[in-house]
Structure 1
Amino acid sequence: MMKQPKKNNGFTLLELLVVLGIIAMLAGIVGPQVMKHMGASKTKAAKVQIEGLASSLDMYKLDVGRYPSTEQGLNALIEKPSDVERWNGPYLRKSKVPVDPWQQPYQYKFPGEHGNFDLFSLGADQKDGGEGEDQDVVSWL
């Protein structure tokens, strides 16, 4: 009788450890790069949202004759303020005012220090100034 060669049906522990080591090394190299781009994309998303909100504020002004007060805030874009007569809203497609990509409300001031109104997000750190993902995203630049 001839012996049949033994079939290899699986991986050895050593082979699995080598593959896991390679995957961990790649994750260590690629992971920080992905996170850096994710922070930049949040900043870009905030810029786009601010531009959209600024356009909605301009439409509000065309109808009402002035921008909402600081007290009325961005809610005036979705709910008619009690002291406004020619409101023709809602001026946003959604029933809620969007929050910034860091899940914080956008800051709104009227009259603005840098233009007709100031609309901004404080970035990831929620403090004035900053670099990278911590930088403020503003409507006036």
Structure 2
Amino acid sequence: MMRRAFSLFEMLIVLAIIGLLAALVAPRLAGVFSGGQVKQTKAQIQLLSGAVAKFQLDMLRVPTEEEGLHALIEKPTDADEKWEGPYLERRSLPKDGWNHDFVYKTDPEFDYIIISLGSDGREGGDGDAADLDNRS
């Protein structure tokens, strides 16, 4: 005699096993994806830092806070013939791993700081929400 279908009890057992596996695997997968966003953000910060270094070689200064990172792709209004940009291959500024704009600040100790505000897009935070910058 052939069996036609699964009983309700068997279906509930299978669903419970699938739910248990999903509960165990999901947090690990989330960690893998967020790790990729951090790596992408660090790579973008390195790219931008290299572009600022090229700007600095040509202009003998870093971009001002008013000019910001846009000085890497568009000639500043007061720039003379020393500006040899654009200093990035793309004609737009990259975003961090969470699709937020980078923050650019001048700093007397480090010349400049390029900051990603993390997953939450706000200053401070822990884990994925922690800020990343070119000083670390």
Give yes or no for contact 1:122–1:128 (8 Å, CA) kept in 2.
yes
Gaps of 5+ in 1: 1-5
Give yes or no for contact 1:72–1:81 (8 Å, CA) kept in 2.
yes
1:66 equivalent in structure 2: 61
1:25 equivalent in structure 2: 20
Residue 39 (structure 1) aligned to one of 19, 34, 37: 34
Identity %: 36
1:54 equivalent in structure 2: 49
Give yes or no for contact 1:40–1:132 (8 Å, CA) kept in 2.
no
Root mean square deviation of aligned Cα: 1.9
Tell me the CA shift for residue 9 of structure 1.
Answer: 6.5
1:61-104 Cα distance to aligned partner (Å, 9 max, x none): 11222111111111111111121122111111111101111221
- Helix, strand or coil at the partner of 1:67: coil
Equivalent residue letter for 1:64:
M
Gaps of 5+ in 2: none
Structure with max Cα Rg? 1
- TM-score of the superposed pair, with normalisation by structure 2: 0.86
Matches within 5 A, 1:2-13: 6-7=1-2, 11=6
- TM-score of the superposed pair, with normalisation by structure 1: 0.83
1:92 equivalent in structure 2: 88
Equivalent residue letter for 2:41:
A
